[in-house]
């Protein structure tokens, strides 16, 4: 059983939990039945019960979609809860990142201790029982089938993939887990802040790709060795032209690694090697250059009253400082200079 690790930055052992995804709150209630129904609709069928006569049950549930991944944050106030949940479906996974409180759970024949920064992967095909005190956590709802499809886009169609299994216990002392936690916090802050009003599927697809890639490569699971390159798929060079043409034809669409790999008919590692050999950059870097060129073409023509940030945002560039750096590196001038020269 993994033991607690104290003093992780931004986490709280007790008291009032931090508020995450505050602009995406869908429920704040002390009604236990209402909370049960909300969680059942979002994640799974939990039988929640509050223990103790003086318990302060005041639950808050927030949820946001990151392409086809649901990112939630749940908090249950200063209360002790018992949780019972039976088998539900064979495809679903719930990944918990504890942000405050403590507890213990039994799942898949293992006992898991909760504490800030602890991780727990719940397979919805197996029951779980838990006791939680002052508990709050991020929850990612994932699909085994979609993770398997993503893995196939990475390693290629000729690699045999058996059933996907995750270890329920995640060691919080590993560098990979801390990287993943930082990514989840970054995505949550971005979707709750600067990206909240953008509604740009290009950006959310990129974030989804990062979460899925890190989930498969950094967390203990049966595909981890394959995804991390311990089995290499050879790819013939002509697939690179197919991928290049696909990128140029769909640069204005929601486009991720899985889309490019599927269009090329090869695995991501083979695609990456081919792009590095042919262009000296990765497929996603190539896509970024194509989009930079599309922005430049608009700036050189007629922006039709739109600002640089509006045009850049339409092509998936939301961090204007980084966009300006990439633009200058590619074209040797800033966007404002392009407008001035061709205005």
Residues of the domain holding 267: 234-342
* 277 within domain boundaries: yes
Torsion angles phi and psi, residue 61, rounded to 5 = -125, 125
**pTM score, whole prediction:** 0.66
CA dist list (Å): 14 to 17, 66, 254, 261, 280: 7, 29, 41, 45, 50
* 291 within domain boundaries: yes
User: What is the percent of the chain where pLDDT is above 90?
Assistant: 29
What confidence score (pLDDT) does residue 113 get?
87
What confidence score (pLDDT) does residue 236 get?
35
| Both tokens assigned to 41 | 């609709």
| Residue 119, CB-side half-sphere exposure with 13 Å CA sphere | 25
Lowest mean pLDDT among 7-21, 39-53, 236-250: 7-21
Task: Tell me the mean pLDDT in the region 249-273.
Answer: 89
Residues with Cβ < 8 Å from 158, sequence gap 6 or more? 233
Higher pLDDT, 47 or 181: 181
Task: Tell me the mean pLDDT in the region 205-212.
Answer: 91
* 300 within domain boundaries: yes
Q: Kindly report the number of other CB atoms within 10 A of residue 28's CB atom.
A: 12
Please indicate, yes or no, whether residues 182 and 34 belong to a single structural domain of this protein. Answer: yes
Please indicate, yes or no, whether residues 183 and 247 belong to a single structural domain of this protein. Answer: no
pLDDT at 341 over 90: no
Last residue of a domain, one of 150, 173, 188: 188
- The domain total for the chain is 2
Give 44's pLDDT tier (boundaries 50, 70, 90).
low
Please indicate, yes or no, whether residues 254 and 161 belong to a single structural domain of this protein. Answer: no
Rounded CA-CA distance 331/333 in Å is 6
Please indicate, yes or no, whether residues 121 and 251 belong to a single structural domain of this protein. Answer: no
pLDDT at 9 over 60: no
Residues with Cβ < 8 Å from 332, sequence gap 6 or more? none
Task: Tell me the mean pLDDT in the region 46-70.
Answer: 75
- 55 membership: H or E segment, kind and range: strand 47-56
Give 14's pLDDT tier (boundaries 50, 70, 90).
very low
* 72 within domain boundaries: yes
What is 275-297 written as a DSSP string? HHHHHSS-HHHHHHHHHHHHHHH
Please indicate, yes or no, whether residues 102 and 36 belong to a single structural domain of this protein. Answer: yes
* 223 within domain boundaries: no
Taking a C-beta distance cutoff of 8 angstroms, is the pair 174, 281 a contact?
no
| Both tokens assigned to 275 | 């792009």
Task: Tell me the mean pLDDT in the region 57-62.
Answer: 87
Task: Tell me the mean pLDDT in the region 125-130.
Answer: 89
Q: Kindly report the number of other CB atoms within 10 A of residue 230's CB atom.
A: 8
Please indicate, yes or no, whether residues 127 and 62 belong to a single structural domain of this protein. Answer: yes
| Residue 75, CB-side half-sphere exposure with 13 Å CA sphere | 24
* 37 within domain boundaries: yes
* 212 within domain boundaries: no
Alpha-carbon dihedral angle through residues 133, 136, 140, 141, given to the nearest 10 degrees:
50
Number of residues that make up the chain: 343
Give 55's pLDDT tier (boundaries 50, 70, 90).
low
Residue 132, beta-bridge partner list? 81, 103
User: What is the percent of the chain where pLDDT is above 70?
Assistant: 86
What confidence score (pLDDT) does residue 213 get?
93
Residues with Cβ < 8 Å from 296, sequence gap 6 or more? 327, 331, 335, 338
* 319 within domain boundaries: yes
Higher pLDDT, 8 or 314: 314
Please indicate, yes or no, whether residues 111 and 175 belong to a single structural domain of this protein. Answer: yes
């Amino acid at each position: 059983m993994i033991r607690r690790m104290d003093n992780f930055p931004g986490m709280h052992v007790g008291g009032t939990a931090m508020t995450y995804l505050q602009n995406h709150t869908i429920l704040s209630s002390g009604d236990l039945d209402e909370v049960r129904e909300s969680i059942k609709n979002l994640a799974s069928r939990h039988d929640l019960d509050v223990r103790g006569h003086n318990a302060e049950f005041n639950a808050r549930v927030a949820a946001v979609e990151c392409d086809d991944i649901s990112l939630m944050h749940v908090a249950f106030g200063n209360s002790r809860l018992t949780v019972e949940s039976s088998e539900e479906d064979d495809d679903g996974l719930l990944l918990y990142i504890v942000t405050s409180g403590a507890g213990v759970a039994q799942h898949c024949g293992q006992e898991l201790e909760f504490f800030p920064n602890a991780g727990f992967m719940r397979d919805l095909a197996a029951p779980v029982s838990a006791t939680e005190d002052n508990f709050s956590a991020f929850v990612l709802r994932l699909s085994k089938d979609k993770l398997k499809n993503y893995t196939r886009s990475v390693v290629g169609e000729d690699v045999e993939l058996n059933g996907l299994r995750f270890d329920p216990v995640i060691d919080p002392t590993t560098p990979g887990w801390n990287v993943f936690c930082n990514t989840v916090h970054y995505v949550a802050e971005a979707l709750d802040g600067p990206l909240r009003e953008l509604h740009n599927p290009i950006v959310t697809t990129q974030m989804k790709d990062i979460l899925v890639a890190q989930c498969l490569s950094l967390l203990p699971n049966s595909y981890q060795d394959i995804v991390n390159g311990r089995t290499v798929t050879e790819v013939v060079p002509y697939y690179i032209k197919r991928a290049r043409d696909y990128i140029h034809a769909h640069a204005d669409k929601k486009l991720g690694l899985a889309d490019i790999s599927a269009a090329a008919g090869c695995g991501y590692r083979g695609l990456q090697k081919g792009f590095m050999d042919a262009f000296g950059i990765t497929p996603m870097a190539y896509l970024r250059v194509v989009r930079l060129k599309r922005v430049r073409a608009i700036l050189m023509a007629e922006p039709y009253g739109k600002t640089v940030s509006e045009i850049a945002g339409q092509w998936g560039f939301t961090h204007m400082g980084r966009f300006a750096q990439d633009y200058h590196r590619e074209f040797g001038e800033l966007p404002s200079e392009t407008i001035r020269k061709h205005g």
